[in-house]
Amino acid sequence: MDAPALPSLQDIQDAAKRVKGVAVKTPLMESIPLSLRLGARVFIKPENLQRVGAFKFRGAYNRLCQLTPEEKSRGVVAFSSGNHAQGVAAAAKILGLKAIIVMPSDAPVMKRDNTIAYGAEVVEYDRETESREEIAKNIAAKYGAVIVPAFEDFHVICGQGTVGLEIMEQGLEMAAEFDQFFSPVGGGGLISGCATAIKSMRPAIEIYGVEPEGFDDVRRSLAAGKIMSNSRHSGSVCDALLTHAPGPMTLSIMQKYVKSILTISDTEALIAVKYAWEKLKLVVEPGGAAALAALLSGKIDVRGKTICLLLSGGNVDAATFERAIKGP
């Protein structure tokens, strides 16, 4: 069997045309406080300012807007702890589609409530004892709905890749020649799309991903050269990054482009949430702040470099945000 085609720069540029005027073109911001602290020239791409508060809207809309009229009439189903759920729900509402979202019962209340507010139906499940994939498959079979994966999908990856395309275009306008790019990693859809765009436009840039400790399936998969899964499905404050394992497509892309995967603790993630609020004036969820956490905690020396870090989402519930602001 032939390997599936992987997204190209042209595919991502085509996706950018589809999401233009629908997704927010988030700013690229040079951070003086962070640059001084790290001894580097630091730029931030705040996807927490994206529609639904996370980059996920880009991939969801790029996938849904290409459904056939017949597929649209049957609706869509997705499974997610929150940000992909909101992205699919919002895209479905814009396009007039029915959406059913399978969400873990321990998902942040704000993410669940927002998903419902966009008009989607939510079906809850237990992360530890039930398979979200099986539940979604059964729903799709019952209604004939189209399953929209969170990351292992060609069009979803292309949509997420528009973040990287914007970074390179905005960096050019700001005379920033990036040496390194840092992104949070869950299943790998975001970093795969971004890396494809970034490395196609500037091959010398080093791509780094950041995962929570204990949920480093991508790091282990890259080291082993095959898909490795997490033994746990819950237990980290970085709920947005708790995927079971990367997919064949995202792993193939990451093997091609990603230099290294760093890991962070829950405490480091919460410290980054507090830093973003105090110094950057941005509200970011723990998983969305993973790349910032890795840099603040010195996981890699970036002195003298020009770097870009991605804040992938800002959907943090009040209790977690309060915990972060109060500090350890």
pTM (predicted TM-score)? 0.94
Residue-by-residue DSSP string for 59-82: HHHHHHTTS-HHHHHH-EEEE-SS
Round to whole Å and give the CA distance between 197 and 213: 28
Q: Does residue 279 carry a catalytic annotation?
A: no
Tens of pLDDT, residue by residue, the chain (328 residues): 456 789 999 999 999 999 999 999 999 999 999 999 999 999 999 999 999 999 999 999 999 999 999 999 999 999 887 889 999 999 999 999 999 999 988 888 888 899 999 999 999 998 778 888 899 999 999 999 999 998 999 999 999 999 999 999 999 999 999 999 999 999 999 999 999 999 999 999 999 999 999 999 999 999 999 999 998 878 899 989 988 899 999 999 999 999 999 999 999 999 999 999 999 999 999 999 999 999 999 999 999 999 999 999 999 999 999 999 998 6
Of the CA atoms within 13 Å of residue 107, those in its CB half-sphere come to: 28
Round to whole Å and give the CA distance between 67 and 84: 18
Q: Which residues contact 73 (CB under 8 A, 6 or more apart)?
A: none
Top CATH class of 57-147 equals alpha beta
Q: Which residues contact 232 (CB under 8 A, 6 or more apart)?
A: 214, 215
Domains 9-54+153-326 and 57-147 share a fold: yes
Q: Contact at 8 Å (CB) between 208 and 183?
A: yes
Domain boundaries, the chain: 9-54+153-326, 57-147
Round to whole Å and give the CA distance between 43 and 156: 25
Beta strands in 159-256 (DSSP E): 180-184, 206-212
The hierarchical CATH code for the domain 9-54+153-326 is 3.40.50.1100
| Active-site residue (options: 31, 200, 236, 312) | 312
| Active-site residue (options: 45, 56, 111, 299) | 56
pLDDT of residue 238: 94
Q: Does residue 265 carry a catalytic annotation?
A: no
The H or E element containing residue 91 is helix 83-95
Whose tokens are 């790019």? That residue is 181
Quickly count: other Cβ atoms within 10 Å of residue 255's Cβ. Answer: 12
pLDDT of residue 2: 57
In the chain, what is the straight-line distance between the N-terminal and C-terminal CA atoms, in Å? 51
Of the CA atoms within 13 Å of residue 182, those in its CB half-sphere come to: 26
pLDDT of residue 1: 46
pLDDT of residue 109: 85
